[in-house]
Amino acid sequence: MLLVLLALCLLWMSTARADDAAPLPVDFPGLVAALPQADFAAKQAIVTRMTELHVPQARVLLAAWLDNRLESRRSDGKVFVVEEHDGTLVLVDPFDGKGAGEGAADDFERVRSNNALRKLLKVSIAQFDLKDPDPRVRAAAVRQMRRDLDEDTVTALRAALTQEKDGRAQHEIRVALAVSDLGAGDAAVRLAAVRALDGETAADVYNALKPLAQDSGTESDASMRAAAIGAVRHIEVWRNFYEALETLFFGLSLGSVLVLAAIGLAITFGVMGVINMAHGELMMLGAYTAYVMQQLMPHHVGAALLLSVPAAFLVSGLAGVAIERTVVRYLYGRPLETLLATFGLSLIMQQLVRSVFSPLNRSVATPEWMSGLWQVNDLFSLTWNRVYILVFSLVVFLLLVLILNRTPLGLKVRAVAQNRGMARAMGVRTERVDALTFGLGSGIAGVAGVALSQLTNVGPNLGQSYIVDSFMVVVFGGVGNLWGTLISGMGLGVVNKLLEPYAGAVIAKILVLVFLIMFIQRRPRGLFPQKGRAAEGT
């Protein structure tokens, strides 16, 4: 009995083995046809074979695969490159690149990839791109290949160098070859490689040079080591410079978020003197407006986001006017009651959102042009979403300054803030101005919420996490002073980010708060206190 079992077992194993070793199709169509059924190991073999075959169509197919745009039809297992629109797939035949009609997404199954496979795909695509007519594509391909150099890639690169006409691509290839030459047996070749790499700043070059520059390092030749040390020092100087620049940018970008959050409050609290605890919830409303806009136009993520800026201004602004008319106006001059009433309002608004949208966070998609990286050079890069938000906050700030200083509304707002009785005597309808001012501050909060939806979770608690920071910025900057808000927001952001690498995120935040408490003790009116008659009223 046992023997029979054993025999069966062996038989099963041998058939399984035979399955594993099922010969790979030799031609491109055969390889493509084998894709839907293949497991990840088989897929790797298929990719390698496709790269060897070097069929031009394979580049398109592999790139689509890497992009998750390769699907197989359930009915006949045919593979298509697809483009999704509204749940229907626009099909492209992988062999002739021509359109092959459309299909419902449910009738197709994605050809999946995993990490190992995606890495292989990138390398394979780079090999195709080495012969691309566009020199920039070729240079990028070399960079991709440089990440893991082996003998095959080095030979491929040497061959490519002889063909290469474009200066930039040539340069990339030379750098790649020099990195590989650092491990050469011949000392002269190594020295030439180090010399060639001097002035390069990429991280992989640095990592390759670093061991040569160390005392206990792998390099025995003294002149070699001196050259390597020189090259490494060169990189380190630049590294430190760009690191400082990066920290500054991080600080400004955190600061821009703080400014955005605080700027609406600078109006309601700073100019009007209303302690509005529901300010955070007005931002939350703005963020939810962005979410709703995206739900309304699911296929135009970017346009929806842009449109949600005015929409959020309206929604939060109207909510602000409503709050002013129904609650705040009865409580002018009674800060404690205002604080309690608006705090209660904030809880009501949170619960409202919980009931309408569920307590779960909602995801707001990031448009293509806002995601990713702006690679300035090897050592310095900025994330696009932060760049946009930094610019956006400055634009919002400037608009607000213009409104306050250059429009009739701004004039009235300032007049009412400075001397209510006199303004009324001059014929200003102060009640209306109050409502409009509160609405303006609230609308700006809504606009800030749209920006926040790109950085953090859109959920009922969104406002709570920013309300304290907002008050902090306004008080630190000096109540009633817009420029003070800008400078204090940016300043706090930069200080926070300067401290973070040394102290860690938790301690950095605490240190900033301790500093603030001490500062307010010394100068209770903040960085830029209002001077003259306006200050007396507050």
Partner 1 sequence: MNTKYLRNRLLAGAAALGLLAASAAQAEDTIKVGVLHSLSGTMAISETTLKDTILMMIDEQNKKGGLLGKKLEAVVVDPASNWPLFAEKASELLEKDKVAVVFGCWTSVSRKSVLPVFEKDDGLLFYPVQYEGEESSRNVIYTGAAPNQQAIPAVDYLMKEIKVKRWVLEGTDYVYPRTTNKILEAYLKAKGVKPEDIMINYTPFGFSDWQSEVAKIKQFGSAGKKTAVVSTINGDANVPFYKELGNQKISAEDNPVVAYSVGEEELSGVDTKPLVGHLAAWNYFESIKTPANDAFIKQWHEFIKNPKRTTTDPMEAHYIGFNLWVKAVEKAGTTNTDKVIDALPGLETPNLTGGMAKLLPNHHITKPVYIGEIRDDGQFDVVWQTKGTVPGDAWSDYLPGSKDIEADWVTLKCGNYNTVTKKCAGQNF
Token readout for 276 is: 């509005």
Phi-psi map region of 97: left, alpha, beta (phi>0 left; psi -120 to 50 alpha): left
Cβ-based nearer residue to partner 1, 401 or 511: 511
Q: Which of 371, 385, 386, 356 is nearest to 289 (CA)?
A: 356
In this complex, which beta carbon is closest to partner 1, that of residue 382 or of residue 535? Answer: 382
Q: Which helix (H) or strand (E) holds 7?
A: helix 2-20
- Identity of the residue, 383 or 430, whose beta carbon is nearer to partner 1 in the bound complex: 383
C-beta closer to partner 1: residue 170 or 383: 383
Which C-beta is closer to partner 1: that of 74 or that of 158?
74
The CB-of-232 to partner 1 minimum distance in angstroms stands at 13
In angstroms, what is the minimal distance from the CB of 451 to partner 1? Answer: 12
Closer to partner 1 by CB, 82 or 208: give it. 208
Q: Which residues bind partner 1 (CB under 8 A)?
A: 68, 112, 114-116, 118-119, 122, 203-204, 207-208, 210, 246-247, 250, 253-254, 257, 359-366, 371-373, 381, 383-386, 455-457, 459, 461, 465, 497, 500-501, 504-506, 509
DSSP count for the chain of H helices, then E strands? 21, 7
Q: Is 380 helix (H, G, I), strand (E, B) or coil?
A: coil
Which of 109, 141, 123, 127 has its CA nearest to residue 66?
Answer: 123
Gap between the Cα atoms of 96 and 132, Å rounded: 19
Alpha carbon distance 517, 493 (integer Å)? 16
The least CB distance from residue 65 to partner 1, in Å, is 13
Cβ proximity to partner 1, 208 vs 312, nearer residue: 208
- 3-state SS, one letter per residue, for 14-54: HHHHHHHCCCCCCCHHHHHHHCCCCCHHHHHHHHHHHHHHC
Give the nearest distance from C-beta 245 to partner 1 in angstroms.
Answer: 12
Q: How far is the CB of 13 from partner 1 (least distance, A)?
A: 18
Phi, psi of 186 (to 5 degrees): -75, 125
Which helix (H) or strand (E) is 84 found in, with range? strand 79-85
Shortest distance in whole angstroms from residue 110 CB to partner 1: 8
Residue 504 C-beta: closest distance to partner 1, Å: 7
Least distance between partner 1 and beta carbon 317 (Å): 25
CB nearer to partner 1: pick between 15 and 207: 207
Residue 131 to residue 376: CA distance in whole angstroms: 26
- Tell me the C-alpha distance between 447 and 307, whole Å: 11
